[in-house]
Amino acid sequence: MLGGIFAWVSLLFEPSAFQVPLIQPQPRLKAEDSTPLKPISTSLPWQDIITGDYGHPPKLKIHDRESTIKWSWERKDVTQDLPPRIRSGLFGRANDATEMKWMRDGKSVAAIYSSLIVVINHTPDIPSIDKKITFAVNRDTDVLWNAHTLEPLPGDRLAVATTGQRPWDGIQVYNMSSALPLEDEPPILQTVEGLRAIHAMIWDEEGQMLWACGTNVAADGSDPEPAYGVIQGYPFDNQTGLLREDPAFKFTFPEYWDIDTEWGHGYSWWSGPHDLVPVPNERVFLVSNDIGVQTFDIATMSFSLGFQETIDKYMPGFECTSNDRHGINRQGEWEELPYSDLKGFSLAPDGAFIYTQSLWKLFRGNHTSLVVDGVRTQLMEGNEIYRSRFFGDIDGWPKPKT
């Protein structure tokens, strides 16, 4: 309740009230302040994958292309003292492992785990600080409970999507510097409203902006009009550390879709974006939703390829993971949806790609698909998975260094 009150109070202020100078990290649990690291992975580039397993308890796993686990993290790995609300979130009512991001040259993992937004050290060569929590927020609030994604920003800031259906939903920004002590209620540096149901975000180093995908109105059907998918860019001001809303970087999908084919006639929800994935070394996004995967070209600021064309060009060898992705749509027509429900996917510069396709009429999958040279194999079979990502910087799309 207290977190909810603070969120409402923040709405009363203009963005200029949040012009907090960028924090210069200082020593505490920072991996960078320890002795020099050996390379964390001695394997070939893009061999490592990070996967979130919705187990009991949930678990984050870094593994190779053969499903061999190299590093993992779960509740029992936490031995440090934690503030009460952070500890309660760690052992909270959610068994989520919704999001996980490579950051700080692979020395940290940002994740949505259990009832927490969390940043963890990934320093297997320095066991004394490995797996320690350096930043956390309890998301068991009316604002953050449905949070689906996060993304590091310059200046040791972390953007967290609220993934809600209300007009004031959007993005909250925190200072995640490991120089700061953990606390029950970390202050919100900025609140950006207006983009609903955000499911994915990505930092754009070349464009110096944060990209997010969500919907223009409530995706759950609670508004009187259909929800269109939206890709929104937020330029980042390095002087103030603030994201800026600019309508020039708001791109609405050319059409909307109901999802009756999967969930039944008259289902209230509309199709919304699930993941926003950069193509390595290109100014191009692939964006998935409940129906398929499309291409968005940043240079032309347009949706340039449809579902089939996107798969043919960027994901050759893609295979539907089940034989039941079909049904009757709202117009009473039979419809096949082989490219639907890619909750998470990732492209490697060597042409390989991974994807998690949820089971039909469920929210998660039971394995991650890896495609190399057009041949698909299944990884982490039997896990309950929402997302897997290659564990590394994306060529042409590096994460902020601090």
CATH number of the domain that residue 306 is part of: 2.130.10.10
User: Has residue 26 been placed in a domain?
Assistant: no
Average pLDDT over every residue of 287-295? 98
Q: Put the strands of the sheet holding 275-278 in their side by side order.
A: 275-278, 284-288, 293-297, 302-305
Residue ranges with strand state E in 88-175:
97-103, 108-113, 116-121, 133-138, 150-153, 157-161, 170-175
User: Has residue 25 been placed in a domain?
Assistant: no
Number of domains comprising the chain? 1
User: Has residue 373 been placed in a domain?
Assistant: yes
Q: Has residue 39 got a pLDDT over 50?
A: no
pLDDT at 44: 65
Residue 402's pLDDT band (cuts 50, 70, 90): confident
User: Has residue 190 been placed in a domain?
Assistant: yes
Q: What is the pLDDT of residues 57-84, one digit of tens each?
A: 999 999 999 999 999 999 999 999 999 9
Interatomic CA distance for residues 17 and 20, integer angstroms: 8
pLDDT at 43: 53
Residue appearing with tokens 């009429």: 361
Percentage with pLDDT > 70 across the chain:
89
pLDDT at 401: 82
Q: What is the pLDDT of residues 205-264, one digit of tens each?
A: 999 999 999 999 999 999 999 999 999 999 999 999 999 999 999 999 999 999 999 999
The DSSP string of 307-319 is HHHHHHHH-TT--
Residue 96's pLDDT band (cuts 50, 70, 90): very high
User: Has residue 236 been placed in a domain?
Assistant: yes
User: Has residue 401 been placed in a domain?
Assistant: no
User: Has residue 355 been placed in a domain?
Assistant: yes
Residue appearing with tokens 């309660």: 88
Domain coverage including residue 380: 2-18+42-390
